[in-house]
């Protein structure tokens, strides 16, 4: 079963929702966050990235930053203002961008089910990022940004979502990145129906937000046994979307130098191992990778995995690693090798070309996106996807719905 729990949200007044809502803390650098908040004292980035309000060069993990986050959070509650719902509620959250639309259920979900892998993971988390968000959560006593979940779609849930979304929304605004965010609150009857329907779903999958979920689990272990907020720490804030609506964009790669190779010898090495042809910038199908080098795009056709290959071995990112990055370019561990970097698909292939033409990279690799089916199959098998396999777009916003613990 999948336990869905209504909660008493803390949320901004409708008149300032667009100003408060902020991109997730981990998709912007400190400098990018500073730029985004210029002229906007209400942006939730003042809470999620509080180092932006301290002198440049401040360690983002210093005590000063967490203290600043607490102060900024208290100030935002007064200034926005932030309103606490009188009753526990469930919300419908729709994202629209570039012709794409996805609508999910915003609520709280079970930490017990997270620990038992009813809520499944596909990504390893980093200790330093867990440490940061756990302290942030505990110091604020609030889950301030939702985890992005996926479930296998159910027609009966879709029908309830359609009914809720015919009413007047709590919020409806277009953010600076042209993504439209619309939220509705389900009434008591609709919320109870959703609770019952989610109770029949066998599994949920974390799409984006593994560090948020892991940090909520760590915070719970520290709070268990206390009387803090009546056990609100037993659940975590998330938005669950049906699988058919979720869009994964490619997570592209750039390599800063070719090592001992030249552009010509790289292309020869590729031609010896793969079918290689001219263009286009974005691969047309699974099993192909587009490569930008020497001012031109080429496409290579990756080798077909054998019948014994696991779902993870069949991913294009795995095949690229095993057949190109390691044997030809000498890049073993992409987590630690400074020669490789990653560019989220939202920035497009033009960004890849720019990096190479400007000298910031020697070669760019444009990927075909991983599918949601791949993600769920690997999670069902208990596997871990390679680093930087998926880029989910559009992104949920921090600060619109907060779960205080």
Do 208 and 311 share a domain, yes or no? no
Does residue 333 register a pLDDT over 90? Answer: no
Domain assignment of residue 209, yes or no: yes
* Contact partners, residue 49, CB within 8 Å, separation at least 6: 25, 28, 30, 33, 60
**Helix, strand, or coil (residue 290):** strand
Determine how β-strand 296-301 pairs with β-strand 275-278.
antiparallel
* Same domain flag for 232 and 264: no
pLDDT in tens, 46-90: 999 999 999 999 999 999 999 999 999 999 999 999 999 999 999
Contact 383, 312 (CB under 8 A): yes
165 domain-assigned: yes
For residue range 80-127, what is the model confidence (pLDDT) as tens digits?
999 999 999 999 999 999 899 999 999 999 999 999 999 999 988 889
Domain co-membership, 339 together with 213: no
| Cis check: omega of the bond before 361, within 30 degrees of 0 | no
Q: How far is it, in rounded angstroms, from Cα 166 to Cα 395?
A: 23
Residue 92 and residue 59 share a domain: yes
Q: Is the same domain home to 327 and 258?
A: yes
Structure token digits, residue 240: 């669950």
Domain that holds residue 342: 251-368
Q: Is the pLDDT of residue 253 over 90?
A: yes
Give a three-class secondary structure readout of 336-390: CCCCEEEEEHHHHHHHHHHHHHCCCCCEEEECCCCCHHHHHHHHHCCCCCCCCCC
In a domain, residue 374? The reply is no
d(CA 302, CA 311): 16
Q: Are 219 and 140 in contact (CB under 8 A)?
A: no
Instruction: Tell me, yes or no, whether 281 lies in a domain.
Output: yes
Residues 216 and 346 in one domain: no
DSSP state, residue 57:
T
Please count the structural domains in the chain: 2
pLDDT of 230 above 70: no
Helix (H, G, I), strand (E, B) or coil at 78: helix
Residue 229 has pLDDT above 70, yes or no: no
* H-type alpha helices, 199-314: 210-223, 263-273
317 within domain boundaries: yes
CATH number at residue 276: 3.30.1760
Residue 347 pLDDT grade (very low, low, confident, very high; cuts 50, 70, 90): confident
Give residue 328's pLDDT band: very low, low, confident or very high (50, 70, 90).
Answer: very high
pLDDT of residue 227: 62
User: Are 224 and 84 in a shared domain?
Assistant: yes
For residue 382, being part of any structural domain is answered with: no
Residues 147 and 58 in one domain: yes
Q: What is the pLDDT of residues 279-320, one digit of tens each?
A: 899 999 999 999 999 999 999 999 988 888 888 899 999 999
Average pLDDT over the chain, rounded to whole? 95
Q: What percent of the chain has pLDDT over 90?
A: 88
State whether 202 and 309 are in the same domain. Answer: no
Q: How many residues does the chain have?
A: 405
Stretch 182-208: mean pLDDT, rounded? 97
293 with 157, same domain: the answer is no
Quick one: 229 and 276 in the same domain?
Answer: no
Residues 152 and 265 occupy one common structural domain: no
Q: Are 256 and 330 in contact (CB under 8 A)?
A: no
User: Is 327 inside a domain boundary?
Assistant: yes
Residue 376 in domain = no
């Amino acid at each position: 079963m999948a336990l869905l729990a209504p909660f008493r949200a803390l949320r901004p007044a409708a008149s300032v929702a667009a100003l408060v809502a902020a991109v997730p803390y981990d998709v912007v650098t400190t400098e990018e966050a500073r730029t985004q908040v210029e002229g906007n004292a209400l942006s939730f980035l003042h809470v999620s990235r509080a180092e932006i309000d301290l002198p440049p060069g401040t360690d983002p993990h210093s005590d000063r930053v967490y203290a600043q986050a607490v102060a900024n959070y208290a100030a935002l509650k007064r200034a926005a203002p932030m309103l606490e719902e009188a009753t526990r509620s469930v919300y419908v959250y729709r994202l629209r961008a570039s012709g794409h639309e996805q609508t999910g259920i915003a609520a709280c979900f079970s930490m017990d089910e997270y620990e038992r892998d009813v809520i499944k993971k596909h990504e390893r988390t980093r200790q330093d990022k867990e440490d940061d968000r756990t302290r942030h959560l505990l110091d604020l006593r609030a889950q301030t940004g939702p985890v992005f979940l996926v479930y296998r779609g159910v027609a009966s849930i879709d029908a309830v979502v359609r009914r809720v979304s015919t009413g007047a929304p709590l919020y409806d605004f277009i953010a600076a990145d042209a993504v439209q965010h619309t939220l509705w609150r389900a009434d008591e009857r609709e919320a109870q129906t959703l609770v019952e329907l989610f109770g029949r779903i066998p599994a949920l999958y974390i799409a984006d937000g593994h560090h948020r979920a892991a940090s909520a689990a760590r915070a719970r272990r520290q709070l268990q046994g206390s009387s803090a907020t009546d056990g609100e720490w037993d659940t975590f804030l998330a938005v669950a979307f049906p699988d058919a609506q979720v869009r994964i964009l490619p997570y592209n790669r750039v390599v800063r130098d070719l090592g001992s190779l030249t552009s010509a010898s790289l292309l020869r090495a590729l031609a010896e191992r793969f079918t290689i042809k001219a263009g286009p910038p974005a691969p047309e199908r699974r099993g192909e990778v587009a490569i930008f080098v020497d001012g031109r795009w080429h496409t290579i056709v990756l080798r077909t995995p054998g019948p014994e290959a696991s779902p993870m071995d069949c991913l294009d990112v795995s095949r690229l690693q095993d057949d190109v990055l390691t044997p030809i370019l000498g890049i073993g561990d992409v987590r630690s090798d400074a020669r490789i970097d990653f560019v989220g698909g939202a920035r497009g292939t033009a960004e890849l070309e720019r990096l190479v033409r400007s000298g910031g990279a020697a070669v760019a690799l444009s990927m075909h996106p991983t599918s949601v089916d791949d993600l769920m199959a690997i999670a069902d098998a208990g596997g871990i996807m390679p680093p930087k396999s998926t880029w989910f777009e559009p992104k949920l916003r921090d600060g619109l719905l907060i779960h205080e613990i």
